A and B are shown apart, each in its own frame.
Chain A
């Protein structure tokens, strides 16, 4: 079984640590990568994609120096190589306009406000990973401990 990749992006190391800690239980089946800027994340995506790693989820902050989170997520969403990658926005400071772009252009799956509920974040991550595993055509039985059971039932049943 190949590990899935989750990338967390935030310019504040303490937030990054907190996110990584909250979803730490997924590390049995996922590599959790931390990036401190949008560019670092995009570079990492290139690198991981070249290695053929399954990039399941990007959790990004919005307000960061240089490129902001919504811009970065929009770029990822419009890149055909990452069309199965799920995207979360985790921010305290997004304007109305940014939020609209995040939904319409980046097609984000979840919007979390700082401070987030750790249990909810973890549950949504599991749901996102489940969607990813099915969309990417991986065997769900290999990843069951980090998947959402109910989402799995729905997706397996849908296949008839």
Chain B
């Protein structure tokens, strides 16, 4: 155990140091600069740290940002700036640009989402909505399961997948004890929640961090607004949910003929609670309206932050509960992307490999499957952090990709694939939570997760194809 631990550190931090010591000619890239070499080292460190996790994944992000500041920026340590006048030194990054990744508009969008979710939880809007929405689904187990999946998916579009899963499992798990011990239906229910949360996260730009990371690279002509994103992602989520529901109830039929979920409580009617409901509704409405009101989704996201702070709905202590780790994890990815882009390494490296000779379809398939594979074994966000900047550079350099939807198409494929990695308990925190409840085995999860991953990726290709047919991408 100790040796394994030590090896992880050695590999994650040793290999980047070796890379730093190599001569520039060793990289096989024409015109490689010293700054680019340093970016390679930081990128390799980030990749190894995110895969092997010797340190927490958000810590890796923080480390990326700080190392970039100390090594690559115009305010770097003095010895890293010696030789700056040499032709092969390369581009020096502006330290303000690196620090700005902490407060990038996309981070603010997420912060707005966190405020909405925190207020909804604090004033029990989530649980009360779940109670009301579950009612029409009746008491037949298969229908209740569909209801739970629909609600989980809707909530995870606006709340974190993890918090949604925890909330829904808290409602569900006590009820599972009435099932007979050998009833396989329990596995269906226990898996339905994380599956629906992972799929539901795809539905909106704030549903899950990989979506936000994709937005970072979907700029200019490729810009996708909040409502626009939902216009194709929500139908995708609906189809995937139905497939998942059908799969689960076929694989694990329940012998139970009736079940009842008891959710206690009433909608709060205090003035503060009403402010929460109204703000929630207005924010989402403004997001859906696109830019017709002059604001974009990023500026809209700060409205709930202001409203909930002013009304003390989110107080000083609540602020401490914000998932800064998620925000920093994404920021680090942006900083990594910034360094790859601004030093010119991404385009340099991509042009060194003759991608133009490959079939664009093959490239889309390959990166999507790579993303799905990585997302099964490591954090979805870290996967997106690593792949997105490279895929974005690749898309720009590959003219032949334009015939298949260009940057938008390939980034959407990768983004959706990142959320579809859900075959293991370690794939995502929702899976880990569901697994801990004990009603499902790793084998069941692997079967369902792998099937849905494969179906989901195929469906993503169909979706992008249809978007191409209607001329959207």
B432 within 8 A of A: yes
Distance of A144 Cα from B432 Cα, bound (Å): 8
Q: Is the CB of A160 within 8 A of B118?
A: yes
Contact of A141 among B122, B166, B432, B438 (CB under 8 A): B432
Across the interface, do A160 and B120 meet the contact criterion of CB distance under 8 Å? yes
Given contacts A144-B432, A152-B436, A156-B166, 20 further A-B contacts (CB under 8 A): A139-B56, A149-B169, A149-B438, A152-B433, A153-B169, A154-B170, A155-B166, A156-B162, A156-B163, A156-B433, A157-B163, A157-B167, A158-B121, A159-B121, A159-B321, A159-B323, A160-B119, A160-B122, A160-B159, A160-B163
In the complex, the number of residue pairs spanning A and B with C-beta atoms less than 8 Å apart equals: 53
The docked-state distance in angstroms from the alpha carbon of A5 to that of B159 is: 34
Task: List A contacts of B122 (CB < 8 A).
Answer: 160
**Residue ranges of A at the interface with B (Cβ–Cβ < 8 Å):** 139, 141, 144, 147, 149-150, 152-160
Asked if A150 contacts B432 (CB within 8 A), the reply is no
Q: Which residue of chain A lies nearest to B166 when distances are taken between CB atoms in the complex?
A: A156
Tell yes or no: B429 within 8 A of A by CB: yes
Task: State whether A153 touches B438 (Cβ < 8 A).
Answer: no
A153–B170 touching, CB < 8 Å:
yes
Contact A149:B173 (CB < 8 A) given known A159-B321, A160-B121:
yes
Could you tell me the dominant secondary structure of chain B's interface residues?
helix
In contact, B163 and A159 (Cβ under 8 angstroms): yes
Q: Is B117's CB under 8 angstroms from A153's CB?
A: no
* Size of the chain B interface, CB-CB below 8 angstroms: 25
Any A CB within 8 A of the CB of B396: no
Q: Does B242 contact A (CB under 8 A)?
A: no
Q: Which residue of A lies closest to B439 (CB)?
A: A149
User: Within 8 Å of chain A (Cβ to Cβ): is B437?
Assistant: yes
Bitwise interface map of B from 425 to 436 toward A, beta carbon under 8 Å scored 1, else 0? 000010011001
Q: Check A153–B433 contact: CB distance below 8 A.
A: yes
CA distance A149 to B194 in the complex (A): 14
Chain A residue nearest to B164 in the complex (CB): A157
Within 8 Å by CB of B321, from A150, A154, A157, A160, lies A160
Cα-based distance from A157 to B197 in the complex (angstroms): 13
| Residue B174, interface by CB 8 Å | yes
Q: Is there contact, CB below 8 Å, between B174 and A150?
A: yes
Q: Which residues of A contact B436 (CB under 8 A)?
A: 144, 147, 149, 152
**Cβ of B432 and Cβ of A157 under 8 Å apart?**
no
- Nearest A residue to B115 via CB reads A160
Give Cα distance in the complex from A152 to B166, angstroms: 8
Please tell me if B217 contacts chain A, counting CB pairs below 8 Å.
no
Give complex CA distance A147, B435 in Å.
12
Please measure, in the bound complex, the distance between the C-alpha atom of A154 and the C-alpha atom of B173, giving whole angstroms. 11
Known contacts A139-B56, A150-B170, A150-B173; is-contact A157 B438 (Cβ 8 Å): no
B110 within 8 A of A: no
Q: In the complex, what's the smallest C-beta–C-beta distance from B215 to chain A, in angstroms?
A: 23
Interchain nearest-CB distance for B196 vs A (Å): 15
Contacts of A153 in B (CB 8 A): 166-167, 169-170, 173, 433, 437
B325 to chain A, nearest CB (A): 9
Q: Does B114 contact A (CB under 8 A)?
A: yes
- In the A-B complex, list the 7 residue pairs whose CB atoms are closest, starting with the nearest: A156-B166, A160-B121, A157-B167, A160-B118, A153-B170, A157-B166, A153-B166
Query: Closest approach, in angstroms, between the C-beta of B440 and any C-beta of chain A?
Result: 12
Given contacts A149-B438, A152-B433, contact A157 B170 (CB under 8 A): yes
Q: Which of B120, B167, B437 contacts A149 (CB 8 A)?
A: B437
Report Cα–Cα, A141/B120, bound state, in Å: 24
Q: How far is the CA of A61 from the CA of B174 in the complex (A)?
A: 32
User: Which B residues are in CB contact (< 8 Å) with A160?
Assistant: 114, 117-122, 159, 163, 321
Set of chain B residues within 8 Å of A152, measured between Cβ atoms? 166, 433, 436
> Would B429 and A141 count as touching, CB distance under 8 A?
yes
Shortest CB distance A150–B (Å): 6
User: Cα distance A76–B159 when bound, in Å?
Assistant: 39
Using Cβ atoms and an 8 Å threshold, which residues of chain A touch B437? 149-150, 153
Provide 6 A-B residue pairs closer than 8 Å at the C-beta atoms, listed in order of the A residue.
A149-B433, A153-B167, A157-B121, A157-B166, A157-B170, A160-B118
Within 8 A of A (CB), among B273-301: none
Please give the distance in Å from A3's CB to the nearest CB on chain B. 12
Using an 8 Å CB-CB cutoff, how does the interface string of B99-122 with A read, 1 for contact, 0 for none? 000000000000000100111111
Of chain B, the residue at the smallest CB distance from A142 is B56
User: In the complex, what's the smallest C-beta–C-beta distance from A2 to chain B, in angstroms?
Assistant: 12
A151 and chain B: residue at smallest CB distance:
B170
| Per-residue A-contact encoding for B233-244, CB less than 8 Å = 1, 0 else | 000000000000
| CB-nearest residue of chain A to B429 | A141
